[in-house]
Amino acid sequence: MGNLVYHNPYAQLKTNIVTLPENSLSMRVSTITIFMMFALVVAAAIGCRRHLSSSEIKDNLQKAMTTYLMNEQQKDSTHFRFSIEDVEYQEEKEYYICQFRVHLFREEGTDTTGMIKGKVSKDFTMVNKKW
């Protein structure tokens, strides 16, 4: 009988496979893991913005208008005291349309109540007073 020679077709494949050093592979895996964790945190931060309650919005709108009026008062020579008694607002995409009821106390002892309308940005940093 003749000698049967078994030829392994995968023998050549084993020699052509390029293997990466273990530390290079683990570095790639850790880089991908870090990137995925960062993407997850960013997505959570963007998607999970806290929505303010109606009373919190009113408080923040009053604070924004108070700050605005205080800054305007510093530009004027007439000083007065005021208190914002109420605010009505309508929420738009980028700002709040507001109407403030303001009680104004003048230096000579008189007082009056009036309305101020304006827009306040969603982050409560910009006030655009109409009248």
- Tell me the pLDDT tens digit for each residue of 61-100: 999 999 988 888 777 656 778 899 999 999 999 999 999 9
What pLDDT, on the 0 to 100 scale, is given for residue 63?
A: 93
Average pLDDT across the chain, whole number: 79
How far apart are alpha carbons 93 and 29 in whole angstroms? 41
Beta-carbon contacts of 94 under 8 Å, excluding residues fewer than 6 positions away, are 121, 122
How does DSSP classify residue 31? Answer: H
The dihedral sign for the CA sequence 101, 63, 52, 121: positive
What pLDDT, on the 0 to 100 scale, is given for residue 77?
A: 59
How does DSSP classify residue 20? Answer: -
Prediction pTM value: 0.59
Beta-carbon contacts of 56 under 8 Å, excluding residues fewer than 6 positions away, are none
